[in-house]
Amino acid sequence: AGKYLDAIDQNGAGTHIAHLLPQGSLRSEVMGKGAGKPSVEQLEQMRALADKAMLDGVFGMSTGLIYIPGTLTETEELIEIARVVSKHNGIYASHIRGEGAELVPSVQEAIRIGKEAGLPVHVSHFKASGKLYWGTLRLAVEQIEQARALGMKVTADQYPYTASSTSLEATLLPSWSREGGRTALEERLKDAETAKRIRDDVATKLESASRIQLVSCSHNRRWIGRSLEEVAAAEKKEIVELVLEIESHGGASVINFGMNEEDMQMAMPLPWVATASDGGAKVPTSSQPHPRSFGTFPRKIGRYAIEQGVMPLGAAIRSATGLPAEILGLTDRGWLKPGMVADITVFDPQTFRDRATFDQPYLPPTGIRYVLVAGAFAVYDGQATGTLNGRSLRKTKSN
């Protein structure tokens, strides 16, 4: 982690960057992408690497428990590594194990890890996914609020869209089929008996799926931007057969329209739910990614707070500024106060709106007048300056 953070400082960045230790990379470094419990020696090796990362200045550990190797990792293993993170006052941030039928037990698992390891818990991109499970987000909210009432630090984040985005395999394929990575998956698909098991599991998942749109697809770029249903109809194939064909030829990234507007608006104003895009800095290409990378913050503040009144404007701003700083333990930023770092966005509330759509995901928002990063203008009079004044933020025991 240290070399990565040093590189940010040497080259600059558009924003400041606070890094989390990815548990999947940690496990892969020690154990590869296979299943199985770690030996005593392997667990100690992972704990030592976590300790080094924390000393380098990362803010905690993140998990992606729907991805390989996270899906292969047992709770007890996560607790043991989280104890090291806790020693350095870090946080445990998790893309939890399931967001459909497994939503509530997955939230309970995250809370258990925080309780037993003694550290704050953060649930990433909080949602209930799959139309069969709409309405169950309230049950997950109850679990978190019960833990908070007992004194635990449990928070979450959310993006203001009813669609998520990840790989096709993580969306529809069973975790056992993905063990060992892409090469192992494609070998399993060549075996008729194993492929039938995968096909049956995919068919079951498709029963609760909504529209799934292809973002990138190396097998056939003409399919990008179209739904699985549309492609299957055009190619005269069953959807499940199309999925297996794509996965046999390199896989794909998708947008999954699996969430419910009522669930999203219910969670949005909760004082412990931060705003996070789950996106990244993207250069426009021929792919059609989720618009959240360009639209999350103006969408929540402009559309949901200012236009629709789902939450007060001040609360919407706090969810994108002061609350994230509080979650990470940053005391020198997140608020407009004397002595704070001058990371400031100046916008016109009348025109601050997102423009990015699923068809045109790269459109920038309107209404942003100025952006200062550590006192330097990154945006001036609505135009990007090219200034890279962002640096790595490093965790210390005192913050």
Predicted confidence at residue 181, as pLDDT, reads 87
d(CA 78, CA 81): 5
The single residue listed with the structure tokens 């792919």 is 287
Q: What is the pTM of this model?
A: 0.93
The whole-number pLDDT of residue 398 equals 66
What's the pLDDT score for residue 285?
82
pLDDT at 20: 98
Given the DSSP bridges, would you call strands 212-217 and 252-256 parallel, antiparallel or unpaired? antiparallel
- H-helix segments, 12-136: 23-31, 40-56, 75-87, 103-117
Using CB atoms within 10 A of its CB, is residue 375 exposed (0-12), middle (13-18) or buried (19+)? exposed
As beta bridge partners, residue 234 has none
- 24: its two tokens: 């999947």
Question: Cα separation of 180 and 168, whole Å?
Answer: 17
Instruction: Name the residue type at position 234.
Output: A
Give the C-alpha separation, 9 to 377, whole Å: 18
| Structure confidence at residue 207 (pLDDT) | 86
| pLDDT value of residue 94 | 99
- Block means of pLDDT (10 residues each) for the chain, 399 residues, are 94 97 97 91 98 97 96 97 98 97 98 99 97 96 99 98 96 93 93 96 89 94 94 96 97 95 98 97 87 98 98 98 98 96 98 96 97 98 97 86
Which contiguous run of DSSP H or E holds residue 142? helix 137-149
Q: Which domains does the chain have, with CATH numbers?
A: 2-163+259-384 (3.20.20.140), 165-256 (3.30.1490.130)
State the Cα–Cα distance between residues 319 and 147, nearest whole angstrom: 20
Give pLDDT, residue 180: 87
What is the spatial distance between Cα 288 and Cα 255, in angstroms, rounded to a whole number? 9
- Return the ∠ at Cα 363 (arms to 360 and 366), rounded to 5°: 140
Phi, psi of 286 (to 5 degrees): -80, -10
Indicate the burial class of 154 (C-beta count within 10 angstroms; 0-12, 13-18, 19 or more): buried
Burial-class residue 305 by CB neighbours within 10 Å (0-12, 13-18, 19+).
Answer: buried
